[in-house]
Structures are given as C-alpha cells and as structure tokens.
Amino acid sequence: MYGPSLEESDDEECSGDSRWITWYCGLKGHEFFAEVEEEYIKDNFNLYGLRGRFQYFDHALEMVSSSEPPDEDDLADVEFLELYRDAADLFGLIHARYIASPRGLQVMREKYLKGTFGTCPRVLCDRQHALPIGLSEDLRSSTVMLFCPKCEQTFSTKSKYKEVDGCYFGTSFPQIFLQSYHAMVPVQPPRPFVAKIFGFKVHKHKSLISRKLEDEDAKRQAAEADSKQTSEQGYPKTQVANM
Ligand SMILES: [Zn+2]
C-alpha cells in the first residue's frame, strides 16, 4: 500500500513541467490532486506544525520541492522508497491546506466542473458531480471518499483511488468549497426514494431523504411564522412609541 507506481494517468491535465509534484499528481489514481504551487510550499507559514509529524521532514520536503521527478533506479532503491512515503504524506498534508486556499479552491473548482472527482453513485442524484473528502485528519486512517453535495452522503471511491489517503483532502474540504462557491450548491433538493410494491406506495414508509426534506420544510415554516408574529407584535408598539 502507498507504494509508487510508474503508471501515468490518462488524464491530460498535467502542466508539462517536470517538478516532482507534477510527476506525482500525474500518476494513475492521483487525478484528484491539485498541483500545489512552488510558492505555497516555500512559505513556512503553510508548513506550520508539520515538522513534528515526520521523522525525515527536511529530506521529505527536499523531495517534494525537487525540480526533477524520480527515475527508475530511484524507484527500485529501498532507501528512496522509505523517504518517498514520507514525501507523499508531507505533500498530502500540505495539499489538504492548499485546496482550502483561494488558489487551491480555484484549481479544485475546475476539476469539479469537469467531473474529475466522479459523480454520486446514487441513481436519484442524477450524476451529481461529487467532491473528495477524508473521514479523518490522521494519516492512514481511511482512504479518500466522495461527498455528494445533493444528497450530502459520503461514498467509497473507485478502486484506483484506494491508495489515496483521505487526510490528503481533509474532513472539511467540501464544506469550505461549497461555502466559497455558493453557485455550486445544487438548487434542486435530492429526489427521495419512494418505496413501492408492485406499483403501490408502501403505506407510512418514508425514506431518510423524504424525512429530511419534510423536516427542513417544517423548520422553514416555523421560522416564517415566528418572524411574522414578531413583526405583527412589534408594529403596534412602534406606533405607540411614535404617538
Ligand atoms: Zn448524491
């Protein structure tokens, strides 16, 4: 697990330069990654608190910042591979911060619009584009998952992403993304599943999404009634005060 593979992705998103990061993001299964800019990594502020999480921080940072990708000899060298693991983790943790930055969000927005992260597997979400999410901020706790902004459920990814750690994206990324780009929040509520037997609706059976929608509706109506009542009660008082 987490070993490097020389197989390159079919995705033609690479910028063409030969940095380690470009090489790493171009590997098969690494299509979700945004290429972190050199300036972002050079800024010590962005690396704050990461040193203590790595045994060979300086060497790992050197590898990540390298202007050359590894060659075949490197990838056969045990020492190199040990350091590579640290470098990949360091890059991943920097990446989780980068994609929450304005520039990183823009890169992820382009990928989202293209559907690079895939679509929600729920049929009633009509191939809604999904976003990557982690279930933990700790390394090797879980692999990257998909979050659907329509049904707000989390799903497993395809097997080719099974070696990508979830914490390389973080647990808050979809929320930060959708708060930054309000227009990306699906306007249509998710279509609930209606349970039927031989064409007849199952009496009193409601799906989780139906209940959620009804709940939100009831809350909205209560809030509306509340504000109406407040303004009605407030009106005469103002009038009295004015008189
Ligand atoms: Zn969905």
Q: What is the pLDDT of residues 49-82, one digit of tens each?
A: 999 999 999 999 999 999 999 999 998 999 999 9
Note whether 208 and 161 are same-domain residues: no
* pLDDT mean over 99-109: 98
166, pLDDT greater than 70? yes
Note whether 141 and 200 are same-domain residues: no
**Predicted confidence (pLDDT) per residue in 2-51, tens digit:** 445 557 766 555 555 679 999 999 999 999 999 999 999 999 999 999 99
Q: What is the CATH number of the domain that holds 83?
A: 2.20.25.20
Note whether 217 and 180 are same-domain residues: no
Note whether residue 156 is domain-resident.
yes
Between 18 and 148, the higher pLDDT residue: 148
Note whether 178 and 215 are same-domain residues: no
Calculate how far, in angstroms, residue 155's C-alpha sits from the geometric centre of ligand 1: 9
Calculate how far, in angstroms, residue 10's C-alpha sits from the geometric centre of ligand 1: 26
- Cβ–Cβ under 8 Å, residues 40 and 31: no
Calculate how far, in angstroms, residue 167's C-alpha sits from the geometric centre of ligand 1: 22
Note whether residue 10 is domain-resident.
no
Strand locations in the chain, DSSP E?
131-133, 145-147, 154-156, 196-197, 200-201
In whole numbers, what is the pLDDT of the chain averaged over residues?
A: 89
Note whether residue 7 is domain-resident.
no
pLDDT at 151: 94
b (16+ CB within 10 A) / e for 6-19: eeeeeeebeeeeeb
Calculate how far, in angstroms, residue 234's C-alpha sits from the geometric centre of ligand 1: 43
Calculate how far, in angstroms, residue 199's C-alpha sits from the geometric centre of ligand 1: 24
Note whether residue 13 is domain-resident.
no
Round to whole Å and give the CA distance between 169 and 172.
Answer: 8
Domain count, the chain: 2
Note whether 38 and 158 are same-domain residues: yes
Q: Please tell me the pTM assigned to this model.
A: 0.82
Note whether 140 and 161 are same-domain residues: yes
Calculate how far, in angstroms, residue 172's C-alpha sits from the geometric centre of ligand 1: 18
pLDDT at 239: 42
The first and second tokens of residue 13, run together, are 């998103």
146, pLDDT greater than 70? yes
Note whether residue 14 is domain-resident.
no
Note whether 52 and 146 are same-domain residues: yes
Note whether 146 and 36 are same-domain residues: yes
Note whether residue 42 is domain-resident.
yes
Note whether residue 56 is domain-resident.
yes
Protein residues with C-beta less than 5 angstroms from the ion ligand 1: 120, 122, 125, 148, 150-151
Note whether 120 and 220 are same-domain residues: no
Calculate how far, in angstroms, residue 115's C-alpha sits from the geometric centre of ligand 1: 14
Note whether residue 6 is domain-resident.
no
Note whether 122 and 200 are same-domain residues: no
Backbone φ, ψ for residue 196 (5° rounding): -135, 150
Q: Report residue 233's pLDDT band, with 50, 70 and 90 as the boundaries.
A: low
Calculate how far, in angstroms, residue 123's C-alpha sits from the geometric centre of ligand 1: 8
Calculate how far, in angstroms, residue 114's C-alpha sits from the geometric centre of ligand 1: 17
Note whether 40 and 158 are same-domain residues: yes
Q: Report residue 179's pLDDT band, with 50, 70 and 90 as the boundaries.
A: very high
3-state helix/strand/coil string of 44-60 = HHHHCCCHHHCCCHHHH
Note whether 221 and 169 are same-domain residues: no
Domain that holds residue 87: 20-184
Highest-scoring range by mean pLDDT, 132-141, 203-212, 215-224:
132-141
**Strand 200-201 vs strand 196-197: parallel, antiparallel, or unpaired?**
antiparallel
